């Protein structure tokens, strides 16, 4: 299996798994931001997880912009939007898949 295919599969999983938990919550509670924040901060371990994700997300956004410009990766807005709307688990493999589609990427020989 080519690297590109692995990244595409991981981006699908990276969107489907988190959304499988968030969408039912959203249907049950609507866009209740105070409740969402309350549940995020409901315990130290929940806050730990969310803070880890936030730092990872900011780091990924920086990486996408800097590396994407240097490597001339197309459609940088797509993984940026994916990271902001779904999360790092979707944005990172999506960016790596786009990076593999560049004409001189190693994916064409991998």
10-63 pLDDT, tens digit each: 999 999 999 999 999 999 999 999 999 999 889 999 999 999 999 999 999 999
CB-CB neighbours of 80 under 10 Å:
18
pLDDT at residue 64, rounded to an integer: 97
Please give the model's pTM, rounded to 2 decimal places. 0.86
- Is 52 within the bounds of a domain? yes
Torsion on CA atoms 7, 104, 60, 78, rounded to nearest 10 = -70
> Which range marks the domain in which residue 51 is found?
3-104
- Is 28 within the bounds of a domain? yes
- Is 109 within the bounds of a domain? no
- Is 110 within the bounds of a domain? no
Number of domains in the chain: 1
- Is 48 within the bounds of a domain? yes
- As a whole number, mean pLDDT of residues 71-85 equals 95
pLDDT at residue 106, rounded to an integer: 60
**Which one, of 54, 91, 59, lies nearest residue 76 by Cα?**
91
- Is 77 within the bounds of a domain? yes
Asked if 5 contacts 93 with a C-beta cutoff of 8 angstroms, the reply is no
- Is 74 within the bounds of a domain? yes
């Amino acid at each position: 299996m080519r690297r590109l295919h692995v990244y595409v599969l991981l981006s699908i999983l990276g969107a489907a798994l988190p959304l499988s938990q968030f969408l039912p919550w959203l249907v049950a509670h609507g866009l209740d931001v105070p409740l969402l924040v309350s549940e995020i901060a409901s315990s130290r371990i929940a806050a730990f997880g969310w803070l880890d994700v936030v730092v990872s997300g900011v780091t990924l956004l920086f990486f996408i912009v800097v590396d994407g410009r240097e490597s001339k990766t197309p459609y940088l807005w797509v993984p940026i939007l994916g990271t902001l709307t779904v999360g790092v688990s979707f944005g990172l493999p999506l960016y790596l898949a786009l990076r593999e589609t560049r004409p001189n990427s190693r994916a064409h020989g991998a």
